[in-house]
Amino acid sequence: ITPVWKPILLGGLYQFSKAPQGKQSASTVMSAAKKKYFARDAMWQRHRYNVALSYPKGWPLRTLSVQRLLTAIDDDTCRMQCAQKLYHDLWVKNINILDATYLSELAATYGNGVDMAVIETTRIKQLLTDNTRRATQTYNMFGVPTMIVRLNGAKSQKEHVFFGVDRLPYIHVLLRDKRMSTTPKLLLAPSSYKPMNASQNEIEFYFDFASPYSFLAFSRLYELRPYANTIVFRPVVLGALFVAVGTTKSPFQAAGPVKAKYMRMDFDRDFQCAGISYKFNSNFPLRTILPLRVFLCDERTIDCIFRGCWQNNVNVGDEKQLKALLHENGFDGETLIR
């Protein structure tokens, strides 16, 4: 593995990718509920990877000078080592990494003679801007961390793009198997995790048939059986949920054009890696009040309704089509819908 760390400007990335929040943090356009969930998820990820972290005073920081210094360091290994020290000093020790003396010491240690004055030169400023613009134009990059993986020795060197720390298990599978066609089991539980008695654990699964992500999660629930004997299904109306938390659009609709393009690619990859076929429903967005009510009458219908939505292009909001789907799968559609 040959890691190459490429500095970019996050605010510039938002600008070039036409993010809805402009140059501001993505959290500025999140609902309060989503912000709370993301904060909790970050805590889980830190625990999972055993990473110590504390937010520095004055965060968020304007790291322009830091990114320019990293851009000025030509050697890939030295740049990576410098970036790793910056991360540790900022997020573990809470050192002021914007201090001029601190940056000068970094330049002396990792820059092979780099003078701090270089960060004000037109060449370095333009190089950092070009790095940022190229990231968006070439890789549909919209946020960090984003990892580009190239497999050496492949007949055609394909570039695989991954956004977010939660995609690290995918990268592990790709490097291990040299392909993205096997289920990345590490996505659901680290190998070091030793569950308690499964009979004591319960999973509540909130879903709406209108969501293809719900279908993907439902199709993989069996992987969690060793950790929880009881799975309780909780149907919700996704549109009403969006309204309740102050979100008026679906994730695809709310994303900027660049992010939406990445999301579609990543969405396809999720299904591919899980070995699950799907066909995007031509009737989307689906009206699912009726099938959700059917599920409440008979929970056994969940599998056939999900597959009807996302594998067989059934318009489950149409009473006639839903009734036929239920009948084909051995249910009394007439009685369930009545």
Q: How far apart are CA 193 and CA 226, in angstroms?
A: 12
Q: Give this prediction's pTM.
A: 0.86
318: number of Cβ within 10 Å: 15
Q: What is the pLDDT of residue 233?
A: 97
Q: Please say if the pLDDT value at position 154 is more than 80.
A: no
Over residues 209-230, the mean pLDDT reads 90
Q: What proportion of the chain, given as a percentage, has pLDDT over 90?
A: 62
Q: How far apart are CA 24 and CA 298, in angstroms?
A: 47
- Per-residue pLDDT tens over the stretch 252-306: 778 889 999 999 999 999 998 888 999 999 999 999 999 999 999 999 999 999 9
Over residues 35-40, the mean pLDDT reads 90
- Per-residue pLDDT tens over the stretch 78-92: 999 999 999 999 999
Q: What is the pLDDT of residue 249?
A: 76
- Per-residue pLDDT tens over the stretch 310-323: 999 999 999 999 99
- Per-residue pLDDT tens over the stretch 47-81: 888 888 899 988 889 999 999 999 999 999 999 99
The mean pLDDT value of the chain amounts to 90
Q: What is the pLDDT of residue 223?
A: 81
The half-sphere exposure of 301 on its side-chain side, counting CA atoms within 13 A, is: 28
Q: What is the pLDDT of residue 109?
A: 94
Q: Please say if the pLDDT value at position 152 is more than 50.
A: yes
Q: What proportion of the chain, given as a percentage, has pLDDT over 70?
A: 94
Q: Which residues pair with 146 in a beta bridge?
A: 163
Both structure tokens of 179: 């392909």
> 321: Cβ–Cβ under 8 A, 6 or more apart, which residues?
314, 315
Q: How far apart are CA 79 and CA 5, in angstroms?
A: 7
CB 301 within 8 A of CB 294: yes
| 236 or 158: which leads in pLDDT | 236
Q: How far apart are CA 108 and CA 205, in angstroms?
A: 54
Q: What is the pLDDT of residue 186?
A: 45
Both structure tokens of 32: 């309060």
